[in-house]
Amino acid sequence: MKARYHDIRNSPGSSFRVSLFEDKEFPAAWHFHKEYELTYIIKSTGIRYVGNNMDTFENDDLVMVGANLPHCWKTIGEQTEDVECIIIQWNEDLLHNWLDKKEVQHIHELLKRSQRGVKFNKSFAKEIKQNLVKLVEAQSFERLILFLQILQKLALTNEFELLAGSSFSESLSSKESERINSIYNYLKEYHLDKITLSNIANEVSMSNDTFCRFFKKTFNTSFFSFLNEYKVSIASKMLIDTDLSVSEIGYKTGYNNLTFFHRQFQKHMGMSPSKFRKAYQRIPIVST
């Protein structure tokens, strides 16, 4: 599989596309398209990839990606509920004649920021959730006005963070994109096993040295640092959503050495697994 170009069709009677997506999981591989995209997660958890950024996502995750910025959302583990999200996609031509006007300069700046991917804070996402829900049902002129109001809110808030690193290159070849997709799929399938450098290099038909250079250039980190961040992301989700012990979670995310698990969790999350659970857990621990 490779990062495929997706051709987006507008919603009937509209100059942009709005959809309520519901399925068992996100079907799209790492892909890109010329349209800008705003994705609001109503119900789902997993790992999100935007450019060279990897992070977990959950309910009320709101992310905007710019034109031709590769991205995908992946569910992890066994899902007890279907994915549900709102996706808005539009071509820059929709706003082309307005972007040089002073009144929409802030929206122009938002579009520029989105070339690295923009994640909006959960509190802000909850504030505009109702507008996003209304947009799905709105028709014609009302839909356009509501969309512009949403863009204005996105442009004016300072409750956001940029995702992809400034060094990320949009101009990846189809072969490079195919390799990145293979890496993502391999991690999802085999992250519980002991992955060697030769394993992953062979998967993408590269020598060990060439693979290391390619990965470092693309993601600005080493493969094994990325792998540990991936495992820690899964562990953090389990700490929030389950009542499994920290040790059980360490083993279930592929760490046979619990000291190393604690060290990696501290490195990537800035706190110990126990402190993280205490701060964020939704499932209460029942004493016996």
Q: In the predicted model, is pLDDT for residue 188 greater than 70?
A: yes
**How many Cα atoms within 13 Å fall on the side-chain side of residue 118?**
23
Distance, CA of 143 to CA of 37 (rounded, Å):
16
CA distances from 16 to 11, 40, 100, 127, 287 (A): 6, 16, 20, 23, 52
Stretch 182-202: mean pLDDT: 91
Q: In the predicted model, is pLDDT for residue 3 greater than 80?
A: no
**What does pLDDT average to over the chain?**
86
Which pLDDT value is given to residue 76? 73
Which pLDDT value is given to residue 14? 66
Which pLDDT value is given to residue 181? 82
Domains 4-162 and 174-280 belong to one CATH topology? no
Please check whether residue 156 is in contact with residue 103, taking contact to mean a CB–CB distance below 8 angstroms: no
Entry pTM: 0.75
Higher pLDDT, 174 or 69: 69
- The tens digit of pLDDT for each residue in 221-250 reads 899 999 998 899 889 888 888 889 999 999
- The tens digit of pLDDT for each residue in 73-124 reads 988 766 667 889 999 999 888 887 777 777 788 999 999 999 999 999 999 9
Higher pLDDT, 194 or 288: 194
Polymer length in residues for the chain: 288
Q: In the predicted model, is pLDDT for residue 185 greater than 90?
A: no
Higher pLDDT, 272 or 219: 272
- The tens digit of pLDDT for each residue in 110-149 reads 999 999 999 999 999 999 999 999 999 888 899 999 999 9
Which pLDDT value is given to residue 278? 86
Tokens matching residue 131 = 């507008």
Per domain, the residue ranges of the chain are: 4-162, 174-280
Could you tell me the fold of the domain covering 4-162?
Jelly Rolls (2.60.120)
Which pLDDT value is given to residue 11? 54
Relative to beta strand 71-75, strand 53-57 is unpaired
- The DSSP output letter for 10 is P
Which pLDDT value is given to residue 6? 43
- The tens digit of pLDDT for each residue in 10-36 reads 555 568 899 999 888 887 777 888 899
Does domain 174-280 sit in CATH 1.10.10.60?
yes
User: pLDDT confidence of 8, banded at 50, 70, 90?
Assistant: very low
